[in-house]
Structure 1
C-alpha cells in the first residue's frame, strides 16, 4: 500500500482493510497511522501499530461485531501485529474528551465498545505532522489545528502525574513494578526514553521518537548519563549485548537519570 511501511506491516494492514470492507463496503472512510511507525521508530519486537480509523458515524452493534471478528482474524494470521487504535468520526478529529462521546477502540488484542483511548493532543499532533495516510483525504486536508500552548501544558501535567508516579512505583521495593523494572530491560527503557522524549519536546517544541530523543540527550546531558541512555537505545532497537553486568546498577542508573530529567523538565517552567 505504501513504501513508507515495513513489508510485513504493509501486508497485514492490507489484509485488515480488505477484510473490513468485504462485508461493510466503505465502512472505513479514512485510515491513518501515527506513533512510532509514523515517526520512523518502529521495531517489530516492541512497537505498536497505532491507527486512527474514520467512520461516518459510531459503529452499530453489527459493525462493531464485524470489526471485532476482523481483528481476531488479523491477530490469528499475524500474531505479532500489535495493532492499537481508535474508531472515530470526521467530526471527532482534533477534539478531546470533553468535546465528544466515547468511541470504540482496539488495545492489547481486544476491541472495546466505548472509551477515550489515546485521545490527547499528542495523537492529533503526530497525525498532523507525521501521520501516514492509507485511506481517505490527504492529512493536510483534514484541517487539524493544534493549540501548542495547551499541548505543552498537558505534557507538563503528564510529566508530574504519570511520570512522577512511574518513578515512585519503580523505586519502591515493596511494589511489584519495582521488580519488573529490575528484571525487564523493556520496562527500564520505557521509563528512560519516555521521559527523555518529553524533555526533548519542552526544549524543541516538537515531537520525536523515543530512540531519537535518546540520541538527542546524548548530545546535551552530562556524560554520567550516557551509559543508561546507550543501554536504553540498544534495548529499544533490539540488538547487541547489554552494557551492564549488573541489573541492580542498571536500574539504579535509570531511576537516578529519571530524577535528573524530572527536575530538568520542571526547571523550564515557572
Structure 2
C-alpha cells in the first residue's frame, strides 16, 4: 500500500523539527488511523501517529515539543497531526497501564492527556501501522488486548449515546456534513469491532453498514460515504435537517443493536 504523499510530507516536516529541537528523542514513528488503512481522505482526515521514545519528555523537552508542534501547525495547517507520545515500556504495557501522557490533538501538543490512549490505537499498530522510523511493531513486544478492545468499543457506543446523541449536541453536530460523516461511519465502525474484533477503516465500516442494516438506512450510510469519498458529489438529501434526523435515528438504532452483540456484564464478544 502506498502512503499518501500529504501524510509523508507532514511527517517528514515533523521529524525535521523534532530532531532539531529535541535531538534523538523520537526513536520510532508509526502512522495509524486512515493513513495506515488506505482510507486517507483530505481534508477530512488527520495524520494519526504514535511516536516512541526511551523515556517520557522532561520539562524542557515538553516545552520544545510544544513549540515544534506549534511551528508545524503554522507551516502545515492541513492535514493536522494527531496522536500520542509513548515510551517503549508504554508500548508493551498497553493503554490500561498508561491512561495519560503527552499527546497531540489536531496539531496542538498537550503535556498530558488520554487522547488516543485506547485499545483501538494498539490494535491498528499491530495490524497495519506504517513504519516511518524505527523497528516494525511486530518486533517490539506490542501489547495485545482483544477483550479490552471490545470493552472500549462498547463504552464508546455508550459515550456517544450520552454525549453525542442528546437533543442539543446531536441537532447541532448532525446539521453539518462532517458531523454526519464522523458519527454515522464512526458508529458503523464500533459495531464492526464488536461483531468481529477487527478495526476497519471508516469507508469499510460504511460498506459493512450497508450489508448489516436494513435498506431503509442505506441512504444515510451512502450519504456519509459520499461526504467522505466524494464530497463534491450531489447531496442525497434535500435539506440538512432531513439528513440530520435520519442520522440521529440511525445512530440510536446502531447503539441499541451494538449492545446485543455483547452478552453478560463482562462481554463475550469476539476474541
With the length of structure 2 as denominator, give the TM-score of the two structures: 0.90
- The runs of at least 4 consecutive aligned structure 1 residues that moved more than 6 Å come to none
Is it true that 1:267 corresponds to 2:265 in the alignment? no
**1:198–1:114 distance in 2 versus 1, CA, 3 Å:** same
Is it true that 1:108 corresponds to 2:101 in the alignment? no
2:188 paired residue among 177, 183, 196: 196
CA displacement at 1:81 relative to structure 2: 2.7
- Number of matched residues? 262
CA displacement at 1:243 relative to structure 2: 0.6
- SS for the counterpart of 1:47 is coil
1:218 matched residue in structure 2: 210
Equivalent residues in 2 for 1:152-167, closer than 5 Å: 152-160=150-158, 162-167=159-164
2:38 matched residue in structure 1: 40
Q: State the alpha-carbon separation in 2 of the partners of residues 268 and 211 from structure 1.
A: 22
CA displacement at 1:94 relative to structure 2: 4.4
1:257 matched residue in structure 2: 250
Q: Deviations over 1:120-149 (max 9, x none)?
A: 111100111111111111111012232212
Q: State the alpha-carbon separation in 2 of the partners of residues 165 and 145 from structure 1.
A: 30
What residue ranges of structure 1 are gaps of 5+ in the alignment? none
CA displacement at 1:39 relative to structure 2: 1.3
- SS for the counterpart of 1:219 is helix
Kept in 1, the 8 Å contact 2:45–2:79? The answer is no
Q: State the alpha-carbon separation in 1 of the partners of residues 94 and 82 from structure 2.
A: 18
- SS for the counterpart of 1:239 is coil
Equivalent residues in 2 for 1:41-190, closer than 5 Å: 41-96=39-94, 99-100=97-98, 102-160=100-158, 162-169=159-166, 172=167, 175=168, 177-190=169-182
Equivalent residues in 2 for 1:230-245, closer than 5 Å: 230-237=222-229, 238-245=231-238
CA displacement at 1:153 relative to structure 2: 2.1
RMSD: 1.9
**1:23–1:40 distance in 2 versus 1, CA, 3 Å:** same
Q: State the alpha-carbon separation in 1 of the partners of residues 63 and 46 from structure 2.
A: 23
Kept in 2, the 8 Å contact 1:52–1:85? The answer is yes
**1:154–1:11 distance in 2 versus 1, CA, 3 Å:** closer
Greater CA deviation, 87-96 or 34-43? Answer: 87-96
Greater CA deviation, 22-31 or 91-100? Answer: 91-100
CA displacement at 1:110 relative to structure 2: 2.0
Q: Deviations over 1:195-235 (max 9, x none)?
A: 11111122222110111111122123211111001000011
CA displacement at 1:45 relative to structure 2: 1.1
What residue ranges of structure 2 are gaps of 5+ in the alignment? 264-271
2:29 matched residue in structure 1: 31
**1:189–1:152 distance in 2 versus 1, CA, 3 Å:** same
- SS for the counterpart of 2:199 is coil
